Each structure stands twice: as structure tokens, then as C-alpha cells.
Structure 1
Amino acid sequence: MRIRDWDQNLKVRLFGESLMNFTFWMSFPFLTIYFTKAFGNGIAGILLIASQVFSVVANLLGGFYADRYGRKRMMTISALSQGISFIIFAFANSPWFHSSILSFICFTTISIFSSIYSPASQAMVADVVDEKHRSHVFSVFYVSLNITVVVSPILGGIFFTYYRFELLTFCGLSCIILAALLTRFTRETTPKTTHTIQSLNTWYNTLLNQVKHYQVILYDKVFLLFIFAGVLVAQTFMQLDFVLPVYTNKVFQEGALLNAGMIHLHFSSAQFFGFILSENGLVVAVLTITITKWISQFPHKNIFILSSLLYAISIFLFGIWNSSWGFIASMLLFSFAELIVTGIQQSFVSILAPDHMRAQYFAAASLRNTIGKMLAPISIPLVGWIGFSGTFAILSCLAIISAIIYIIMFKLYDQKHKRIITNGNN
């Protein structure tokens, strides 16, 4: 399905969201550094955990609001609210006024409305695209996002450091432009039956139903171990947003990345973090399809275990290598750990899920990243207690434990599978 054959809603969103993501990734990767400098590691960690909790609740309710009030309306309100929050964020970092507390409130507000935007945007794709074309449409949006992740952090290392007010203002304007495009050039796509059903529900009943759906993990030991292992290994890759930027800012000051003849590459700590983040985005964007095709020929067990071990090694190396090239090598290994497991996780969930409970299993599977993201900021105050080396060592151990859990999980899975075959033969 070619982009020119897409519904107009999707064409408008692809342009508007690309612009918004471009500015978003110029600022957000550096905010952990900003808040740790403003509040200290301990308080910043607690504040970031609280922010993630609000975002998780907003994400759980986002689907309900999109069904009840409409995809277009919720996306427009979310984009506009993010834009206004960015403008206030810019004012809190302007030449005339500075407030770290107001900055954090704006950051949390942006995160909440971003979480509300996501379910509505995904539902809109399902509304206007046939099932056989949906994976292609989602992949185009995914590639578009990764392209911005390649370019934006490098620019953000410069603009967030030296032109913060201007950058945050531009972020706000890009969100407002997206809201205007959604208002003027898109239509509502929510099915009328969905409006009717959700109008009989309330937000708190929806939240309770979401929690009840997650009870499925308590009755499936294999799936429970899958969630548990996923939460543990998430503590490593989630550190791209938390400990790694703080560590990079502390370890790397102004220095040279390359001095070869007439080529001289110098960097600040923020610019270097933007560079390695772009490295991760580039590797993922370029190699995802190729690596997924190659790795799919191996057993799921080996892939999950290998990914956890690679995460363990790479996060440990981050803690012991203080050279720029050592960091680049560690990030390459880190990216490969992400690549080999990205394409098979959802397919493995579909294997575990009974046909009549597939939606509940997929909803519960999202707890790996949901809980993982809530817990990940704990690493920031942990640095203040035991230092960076100790923190990276603990994170590495958690990834190794996840690999051990995967071994146990697949042993139980094989036993369960054999019992099903035996009962079927009888």
C-alpha cells in the first residue's frame, strides 16, 4: 500500500507527527540531565518516577477517552496541550525567568498528553486501514520516528545546551501546528457503535476493567515469568532515558572524538550523548528488518536469552569504559541486543495466548515496559548511594537474572506443550 493511496488522515498525521517528533527528540533525551542538575539525583529520581506513574495511568485511560470522545478530538486536544506546555516550559527557561519546578510540571504535563495521544492515534489507523495493510502503515510511522531519532539528538546536543528557550518554543509551535492540521484536514473516524458503548461506561470502571484484564498473568505461570523477565531486562534499555545521559554528562567533558589529518571532531558531553543516541536510532532503523529475518530462524529461547546477556554485557561495559570509542562500541552491542528481540516478542505472545484471550494477553504483555518504565528512574538516586559502577553492575545482574528466568520459563513452556500434545493424542 503506497503512501499516496493512504487515507488523508494518515498523510496529514505522517507530516505533522514527523515535525513534532523531530523537535521532541531534540529536547527530551537531555531532560534527565537538566533535572538532576536542578534537583539532585535523589529528588530527580523520585520526581521522574511520579511523572511515569501519571503517564501510565494516562495511557491506560487514553483508549477509553478516544472511544468515548473521538480519535480526532483527543489527538487535537493532546497536541494542543503539549504545545501550550512546551511554550510555558520555554518561558520557564527564558532570559527573563527561570523555574525548575515549573519546568518539571510542564515536562509531566507533556508526558501525560503524549500518553493520551498514542492510543487514539493507533486506533485511528485501525479505523481507516484494512487489516492486511495495517502492519505496513505502522511500520512507515515507526521508520519515520527512527529517522528523527537518528538526526534530532545530534542537533539537540547543541540547541538544548545553547539555545534552550528557542528550541522549546519551536517544540511548542510544532505541536500547535500538528493540532491545527488535525483540526483542519482530518475527519473523525470513531465508529458510532463505539461511541454508544463507551458513553455507558465511566473512566474509573474502565481503569478497573484494565486491571482485571491483567489478572490473566496470575493463571499462566509461563506468561507470568515472561512478564517478570521483561520487567527486569527493561531496567537496562530504559536507562537510555535516565542513567546514561547523567553518566555521559559526568564522565565526558569537552574533548575530541577524532583527530585524523584535517578531520577534527570535538564534542561536549551533551553532544556526545546525542551522538550515541543517534547511533542507536541509526542501527535500529537500518538493520531491524534484516536482523529480524535472520534471527527468526533460531529458537525463541535462544534469542531471548542472548538478548538479555547482551544487554547485561553492554550495560556493564558502559560502567567501566570511560573512552568515547568504548561508549560507541557498548552502544553498538546494546543496539544489537534490542534488534534481535524486537521482531519476535509480539509473535511469542500470540503463541502463548489462547485464541479467545489474545487481546487480554497483549494488553498484559505491555506491563513489561509499563512497569519497567515506572521502576527505571530508581537508578538515578541509586547512583547517589552506590555510585555509577555499582549501579551499572546491579543493572547488569538484573539482565542476567532475566536470562535465567527465560531458561526456567521455556522449560515450563516445553513441559506444558508436551502435556497438550499428549492429551490431544489421548
Structure 2
Amino acid sequence: MKFSDLHPNIKIRICTDFFTDLTQKTILPFMAIYLSTQIGAGWAGVFLTVNILASMFAGLGAGYWSDRIGRKKLMVLAQSLQVFALICLATANSPWMNSVPLTCFMFLLSSISSGITVPIAGAMIVDVSSEKERQYVYGLQYWTTNVAITFGALLGGLLFEPFRFLLFSLVCVESIATLLILIFCIHETMDSHQHISTDLTKKIRRTTLANTSNKARKSNLSNVINTYRTILKDHRFMVFFTATVLAISLEFQLDKYIAVRLKNEFTAELLGFHVSGLHMFSAIIMINTVLVALIAIPFAKWISHLNSRTIITVGLLLYTAGFATLAFSNWAWLLIASAGILTIGELMYAPVRQVILAGIIPDSNRAAYMAADGLSYHLAALLGSLGLTVGTFIPSYMMAGLYLSMGLAALYFFRVSLRAENGRQQNLSYVDAS
């Protein structure tokens, strides 16, 4: 498999996503620090919570309607909203204006735009790729994302506070370029969506044309509600879903509570250089993403001989211990070591999580279950924002204890999910043998 063999849409999306991630990661991880400074940590947590909810509901609506009116139309609309929001963000942080309310409102619009784009871009890649290509495509995306995050964190740590206007302006230029590429280079892929038959497509189009009627709107809403109601009744999946939310919510603590705590509490002399909390936060992100980018593949081969239960147990214990240490320690070398430890843990548990997911979702409702799994990331981000608010009322050692409890609970639920999946495979083997 070669990059040149991929569909043009995929090649374009991988390239544009790299630069989008690179520029946005110079801003997004540092917004919690900015907001906590301007409006207080408590209100910052509330605002970030609202942001996550708005992005989540925007994504649900976008995923539903992209199958009805097309991928490209909604992506262009969302990117246009992104350009508008970023122009206003740059203006609100320019030498001529310093408006916190305008910054907050435009950051909300930017989050809504991202919420619309992410599920549609994912669906577009599935539309034009084969099963054999997807492993290569997603692996390439995983690598480019981590490389972009690495350099984005470095630029953000150096430029966010002293040169915020320049930073927002660079992101705005990149967003305009992406919009032009979407308009002139990206092709509509909805017609190649293999999961919708011709008759069903015609029915959807007729429904879309008639969507001004109350009956059509109620029917659409009823279909969505019934689908997710069925998923909520799937006990095995919901146990897995709970474990995912708890585990990933620790990751979302990094650029919220942990970032703010380091800025307020940490300062040190390291190798003859003065290191601020903001610099240490950038270093932690860089260690995490560089290690993932460099050792993910060889490390996966090295632990492949271990069974899934052992990998996920050791991995989550390391992952949890690393985040718990970041929650209270102000010793520079221990923070650096913890960043490496949690990264090793992430590399161990994350692939097993995907294996468990693939085994517990039914083939007949795969897309709906994958969409529900995507909601776990939004809920985890929500807990991350709430953690920033909770951290204003309790000391750091109690936050560390809370992280330990969340990580151990996630481990328990993952092991329950893995046990249920192993039991299902044994039953299937028995049936096949019969």
C-alpha cells in the first residue's frame, strides 16, 4: 500500500488535517489557561463544559444529515463558520482590541464547527476506502496527528502568551486555505456510500424534500432516539462505554486541571534553565506525542505475545499512575518520568480497547455503535472540564486520589468487557463445532 494509491479525497484530507492539527494544537491546549486567568478557573470549567456539549450535539446532527444532503456541503459550511470564528478571534486578541467575551463566543463557534466536521470527514474516508486500505489510512492519520500535536504544543508553549494575535492569525490563514481546498479539490462521496441501497437513498431524498412537515421531523427524531435507546439497553456495550469514558477522561485532564495547576504552582531550575509551569506542560505533551510517534509500532510488536488481559491491566495501571502523579507533584524530573510512564500505559491499553470494541458490537448495527462509542470521547472531555472546576475546591492530592479511583474503575469495567467477549467467542466456537 502506497500513499499515491489512495483516493484523492483521502490524500487531501490527510494533508489538510495535518496542518489543521498543527495550528489548532498551538491554541486549544492553552485555552483553559487563558480562560482561567481571564474569568477564573471555576467559570472556565463551566464554559469548556458548554463548549463540549455544543460540539457533541453539533456532531450528532451533522452525522445524521450528512447522509441526506451530502458530505461536502456540510463540510464547506462548517469550514466557512471556522474561518469567520478565527478571523474574529484574531481581531479580539489583536493590538487594537482585547475582548474576552468576543474570544469566548468565537471559541464556542469554532468548537461547533469542529464538531460538525469531524464525523463527516470520518464518513468521507470510509466512503472512498476499502477495508484493506483503512488500516493503512488510519495508521497514517494516527502518526501525522501525533507529529502535528508535538510541534503544535511546542509553538503554543513559546508563542501563546506573548504573541497570541500572531498565533490566531496563522491558524486563520490555514483555515482559509483549507476552505479553498474543500471547495475546489474535494469531491462529494455520498453516492459511493456502500451501506445505503438505491431504494433507501431515494426514500431519504424524498424525506429530505419533505422535511418541512412536522411528520417528517418527528419521524427523523424518532428514528434517532429509537436507535440509541436500543444501544443503551445493551449491557455489555454500556459497561465498555463506561470504562472508555473513565479512562479517556484522564487524558482530558491534562490540558485542563493539570495545565492550570502547573501554571499556578510549578516553577523550577532545570539544567541551568528556568522552567515555568507552561513550559513544563508543553514538555509533557511533547514527551507523550513524540514517544507515541516513535515507538508505537515496534512497541506493539514487542508486547504482541502477551494476552489481552495482561496488557490492559499493566497498561491502565501505568497510565493511571502517571496521571495521578501529574495531579500533585511539582518535582520536574518526576513529572517528566510520569509523562513517559503514562505514554507507555497508553500504548498498551489503547489497542486492546479497539479489539474489545470490535468484538462486542453487532454487525447489523455497526455504524450506530461506532457513533455511540464516539460519544464517549465527548463525555470524557466533559469530565475533563468538570475536573477543572472541581480542582478549585479540593487540594491536588485529593485530585490525584480521584484520578486513581477513575483509572482503577476503568480497569475493572474493561476486564468485565473482555471477560464477556471471551465468553461470547467460546460460545460461538462451541456452536461452530456442533
TM-score using structure 2 length: 0.88
Give the whole-Å Cα distance in 1 for the aligned partners of 2:22 and 2:140. Answer: 15
Q: Closer, same or farther in 2 for the Cα pair 1:67/1:361, shift >3 Å?
A: closer
- In structure 2, the partner of 1:351 is 359
Q: Closer, same or farther in 2 for the Cα pair 1:354/1:5, shift >3 Å?
A: closer
Give 1:296 deviation, angstroms.
3.8
CA deviation digits over 1:146-199, x for unaligned, max 9?
Answer: 111111111111111110011101111110111011212222222185864543
- In structure 2, the partner of 1:262 is none
Segment drifting more, 188-197 vs 100-109: 188-197
> Aligned Cα RMSD in Å?
2.5
Q: Closer, same or farther in 2 for the Cα pair 1:316/1:11, shift >3 Å?
A: closer
What pairs with 1:360-371 in structure 2 (closer than 5 Å)?
360-371=368-379
Q: 1:241 aligns with which of 232, 247, 255?
A: 255
CA deviation digits over 1:206-245, x for unaligned, max 9?
Answer: 5654443333444433322211222222221111231121
Give 1:334 deviation, angstroms.
1.3
Give the whole-Å Cα distance in 1 for the aligned partners of 2:9 and 2:362. Answer: 34
Give the whole-Å Cα distance in 2 for the aligned partners of 1:21 and 1:163. Answer: 19
Give the whole-Å Cα distance in 1 for the aligned partners of 2:369 and 2:129. Answer: 23
Q: Closer, same or farther in 2 for the Cα pair 1:6/1:407, shift >3 Å?
A: closer
Give the whole-Å Cα distance in 2 for the aligned partners of 1:35 and 1:173. Answer: 24
Aligned AA (2:389): P
- In structure 2, the partner of 1:91 is 91
What pairs with 1:29-44 in structure 2 (closer than 5 Å)?
29-44=29-44
Q: Are residues 1:231 and 2:245 paired?
A: yes
Aligned AA (2:395): G
What is the DSSP-based 3-state SS (H/G/I as helix, E as strand, rest coil) of the residue aligned with 1:384? coil
- In structure 1, the partner of 2:386 is 378
Q: Closer, same or farther in 2 for the Cα pair 1:167/1:373, shift >3 Å?
A: same
Give the whole-Å Cα distance in 2 for the aligned partners of 1:79 and 1:227. Answer: 30
Segment drifting more, 171-180 vs 413-422: 413-422
Q: 2:271 aligns with which of 252, 258, 265?
A: 258
Give the whole-Å Cα distance in 2 for the aligned partners of 1:407 and 1:19. Answer: 38
- In structure 2, the partner of 1:141 is 141
The runs of 5 or more residues in structure 2 that have no matched partner are 193-197, 212-216
Q: Are residues 1:306 and 2:320 paired?
A: no
Give 1:111 deviation, angstroms.
1.1
Segment drifting more, 228-237 vs 274-283: 228-237
Q: 1:399 aligns with which of 407, 423, 426?
A: 407
What is the DSSP-based 3-state SS (H/G/I as helix, E as strand, rest coil) of the residue aligned with 2:184? helix
Give the whole-Å Cα distance in 1 for the aligned partners of 2:291 and 2:185. Answer: 34
What is the DSSP-based 3-state SS (H/G/I as helix, E as strand, rest coil) of the residue aligned with 1:170? helix
Aligned AA (1:257): L
Q: Closer, same or farther in 2 for the Cα pair 1:323/1:107, shift >3 Å?
A: same
Q: Are residues 1:47 and 2:47 paired?
A: yes
Q: Closer, same or farther in 2 for the Cα pair 1:186/1:49, shift >3 Å?
A: same
TM-score using structure 1 length: 0.90
Segment drifting more, 278-287 vs 411-420: 411-420
Q: Are residues 1:162 and 2:162 paired?
A: yes
Aligned residues of 2:83 and 2:176 also touching (Cα < 8 A)? yes
What pairs with 1:12-411 in structure 2 (closer than 5 Å)?
12-191=12-191, 193=198, 196-199=202-205, 200-201=207-208, 206=220, 208-253=222-267, 255-259=268-272, 265-411=273-419
- In structure 1, the partner of 2:4 is 4
Give the whole-Å Cα distance in 2 for the aligned partners of 1:388 and 1:367. Answer: 29
What is the DSSP-based 3-state SS (H/G/I as helix, E as strand, rest coil) of the residue aligned with 1:97? coil
Give the whole-Å Cα distance in 1 for the aligned partners of 2:20 and 2:426. Answer: 50
Aligned residues of 1:236 and 1:396 also touching (Cα < 8 A)? no
Give the whole-Å Cα distance in 1 for the aligned partners of 2:240 and 2:296. Answer: 22
CA deviation digits over 1:247-268, x for unaligned, max 9?
Answer: 1211224x43323xxxxx4433
The runs of 5 or more residues in structure 1 that have no matched partner are 260-264
Give 1:361 deviation, angstroms.
3.1
Percent identity, please.
Answer: 27
Q: Closer, same or farther in 2 for the Cα pair 1:257/1:155, shift >3 Å?
A: farther
